[in-house]
Structure 1
């Protein structure tokens, strides 16, 4: 089994997945978020959709057994393992404007939005095409009376992971989040590994590495 790759703090990586490949995302130190976006590798106009996924699950917090749908209502991923159990699929990736508006920063850090766009640039995906991300390990709370939104430290502990199986060929990108509210203001790395699906055996079954 191949070793994990490391995404350094405040950066992103992209991978191409075949149908049946499994993507494992690990929080190595605890309380860190990874923004995940995905596109159909055969038609980049099809992308991972927050609205479709939440609508069909009829709940905000998706976990093991849940499919993640595209904007065309087709399953793109299935969550097959989840040791944390709390992620967010409502907030957009942080950007230089996020840091200006929320934190008062003026140095123009790219944030997860810019880092995702940089990782996806070789595939012709620009910043204006970055959708709401599946924010792995992100802890977002909602007040039931007012609807107020609060970003809290993640519930993930060191070594927590999520495993997603690709249900179509995908271009995916992941971050080690740059927003302080998302990681308790301790910017840390994220680890990941792609377990490639093996070719079909004599009986036609496909197995993973």
Structure 2
């Protein structure tokens, strides 16, 4: 039986995803972003690259069939299923600085952030916060004006939407239930995910739990 892990609102985790394993990220309630970042498990100098991926895909709207590349132009993940169709690969993970600069209503108070949660989740693998770059912001609805201004609207995802990727190399993966209220329609909600080992039946849609380090 598949096992699904729930990330509580404004939390995150880190785990090993082996080549051929399939990661399914689910928005159980709708309207919630999940930040993803990853490193080659055998060399953290190789990591997910927004620039390389957008360059090779020639689009900012990544979906089924697209490859997600490393900074060394090697495929890290393949998108094998996407029921939402709108995600962001332009904006960095929210950080304390994000809330200090863009959320004046918090008046500089501490706020959970995706950068903190990714850093905590990936710390057991030896990852430092400064190594984490632009995340794939699953279900995030970012779109540009012709003049270049970016809009962040509520996610278009509905309850049960999923984004499924297959690992093309062994990876250390960080995943969050995004902490930024403005990115999630004003309310932060949980995210669910599962991992299916390479070769298991139904690998594109179901999972068998989180693999160990």
TM-score using structure 2 length: 0.92
Contact 1:197 1:207 in 2 (8 A): no
1:27-106 correspondence runs (5 A): 27-104=27-104, 105=106, 106=108
Cα distance in 2, alignment partners of residues 110 and 92 from structure 1: 15
| Secondary structure in structure 1 of the residue aligned to 2:51 | helix
1:132 aligned onto 2:134: yes
Per the alignment, residue 202 of structure 1 pairs with none
Cα distance in 1, alignment partners of residues 131 and 184 from structure 2: 25
Deviations 1:70-100 (A, max 9, x none): 0000000000000000000000000011001
**Structure 2 residues not aligned, in runs of 5+:** 208-213
Contact 2:15 2:122 in 1 (8 A): no
Cα distance in 2, alignment partners of residues 123 and 15 from structure 1: 9
Question: Which 4+ residue blocks in structure 1 deviate beyond 4 angstroms?
Answer: 206-209
1:168-207 correspondence runs (5 A): 168-198=169-199
TM-score using structure 1 length: 0.93
Cα distance in 2, alignment partners of residues 3 and 159 from structure 1: 16
Q: 2:144 aligns with which of 126, 142, 145?
A: 142
Deviations 1:115-150 (A, max 9, x none): 100111111111111110000000001101x21111
RMSD, matched Cα: 1.4
Contact 2:22 2:164 in 1 (8 A): yes
